[in-house]
Structure 1
Amino acid sequence: MSRISRIFPALCAILLVFIVAGCGSSDSVPKGDVMNVDGTTTSKETFDHWFTIALKSAGQGGAAPTLDPPTFKKCVAASKATAPKPVKGQVAPTDAQYLAQCKQQYDGVKSQVMTFLIRSEWLEQEAAKKDIKITDAEVLAAFNKVRRQQFPKAAEYEKYLKDAGITEADLLLRQRTQMLEQEITKKVNAETGKVTDAQIKAYYEKNKAQQFSQPAVRDTLVVLTKDKATAAKAKAEIEAGASWASVAKKYSIDPASKDSGGKLPVAQGQGEQALEEAVFGGPVGKAIVGPVKTTDGWYIVRVQKETPGKVTQLDAALKQSLRSVVAQQQQQSALQKFGKEYQTRWKKLTECATGYIVSDCHNYKKPKSTTTTAPTTPSSGG
């Protein structure tokens, strides 16, 4: 049984990457078809239809590339005709280089088309397995809503169809493919089940320190110097009656605290260990600690005030908020797991004809790396 219609959206908007075709067995693909997914085949005629659309898209408003495998004579001639003349002293590209470029362009477009056709068929069959049904009326309603937004005037819509070489039936199939993907995603998410209180508690405990706790903060006065002797001198002057602000301005090498009278708030657990021990190792008061050696230099410190740390408790309001967070995490995890299983399972059921084999085909073999010299002035042809 052959599906003869598929939608090929704008290139670069849906497919992942260009895939270089490999080689392998294609015995299960009937003559005249390009692929077989679990007994459902896609014809060469369908491939040609989407290949033509892809070429127009690749033209980006200009002339579509001329790609005529297997000889690519027209492509080579067009590329040579449209290539700029080499500047003085520059060697013109050879026919072999133009041929390599034409083959590379063809393989890129061919691989995009095949990947799209394969993945569209996967969605159709996966939806059937999951008993997902979308009616033509539902597809048309969703499509008309989008069409009216993008093309308020009928003339604009007709021009788009003509320029893109695409039909409304093609666009409706594109809409259907998108809706199938959305419904499959919804079904996978629904299978994750409800979030339990135990799961919320586990998330809370795991993230308590980073998300639900505020560390204790001590407001300090500091002077940071390059060496121990200068720090000791600064300490002696303050103990002799000089103001902290004047001493900080005189000796400190830290611009921020120097310009604020020596003030520096220090959060517990977020700074250098030596400084933190000096700040939190004793009581709040007038005592001056130091000199203390750190990677930045030598500190003297006085603790002025402490704001105790705070932990947000797991009350009913926070539970409700975290329930959606945990649910989202579970859904993402489930989708990732499903995605891997989905691709592995359908790839095993996908055979492609020789000359149309891409990485989503079960008979794909990764090609050996090769180096191809392309023309120095690439041209897509005309």
Structure 2
Amino acid sequence: MTHSRHEPTGQAPMKMHQLITADGNRVADELLDEFVNDIDDQTLRNLYEDMVVIRRIDFESTALQRQGQLALWPPLMGQEASQIGSVRALEDEDFIFPTYRENGVAYCRGAVMSEAIGVWRGTSNIGWDPHELNLATPQIIIGAQTLHATGYAMGLVLDGKESLSIAYLGDGATSEGDVHEAMVFAASFQAPVIFFCQNNHWAISEPVGLQSHVPLAGRAPGYGIPSLQVDGNDVLAVLAATRWAAHRARTGGGPSFIEAVTYRMGPHTTADDPTRYRGVTELEEWAAKDPLTRMHTFLSNAGKLDDEAEAKIAAKADAVAAELRQACINLPDPEPMTLFDNVYVDEHPLLELQREQYRQYLASFGETPATASQNQVSNVQGSAS
């Protein structure tokens, strides 16, 4: 059986909130306008700069993977506005629960990308301190982070905090039981959590229309959660929509669900070949809605972006990419015994037993942990050649 549906069907379309059209024109939105009244020209340029930089990071990381320097990379091309608009609407004390694709969110949150890249090179489990950045470990298990975000938000209420949590998820995650459970708990306990769904139209190789015959944002009211559907390629509208949800959370309004309608222009990961399941015309259609081109046109037409500003933005993007490449290639290989670090908060007798057994295993080859690490690298390089 083949499925040709890419768009949800079965009920009237929801209102698509938008502030900047695909051709770069500013339009009014009765709900969102009030949430961006304070946005000045410099802030608009900063939003554009963020998108340019993270696309450059994305391109560089993809190239590093193709050159054998990274084991894997999850491209985010096409989703820059969704990530930048949402994260720039948050306060520092708000806690973020990302998927594996929110590298743009991590960059804006203050993660050092030259350190974060170690996750994809296989030299570390995480590239930042979650408590320092209020940014959780990237979640590989689809939908699990929504439960974590909801539980954290419930804790915020118990602690009398005014901050919130936000869970990033994709359209495919909405079919997971974890997401259902998280939304039930969030609604029942009016937890200050934002469910930010980036509908990029493809859950690996399955179109969104196969998973839902109604707009994804239309599911949330069934749980008692207010929702919005927003143009996910419009960074200003995404910023406003996330501010709307954040305001609800901070003022006792409980959870909100945002469906940012965007498009994954690249593969699911660098191990994927999207040409096997989607057509060229579809990609061309969404390329015309490119979030960077849209913002560039808007700023240029309004006289808010000159050649000097563009040159500075491009130079920054190049500098970040060069630093990332250099750091990636020179990342040190971890010592074998560090495998047991940060498994538990407190020491655990079974872990200590495993640590000692591994130490003895290495010693049986007449190796110290350091020489074992060197030999492992040599064996890998020898196999590759």
Structure of greater Rg: 1
Question: Structure 2-normalised TM-score?
Answer: 0.20
**Structure with the greater relative contact order (CA < 8 A, sep ≥ 6): 1 or 2?**
1
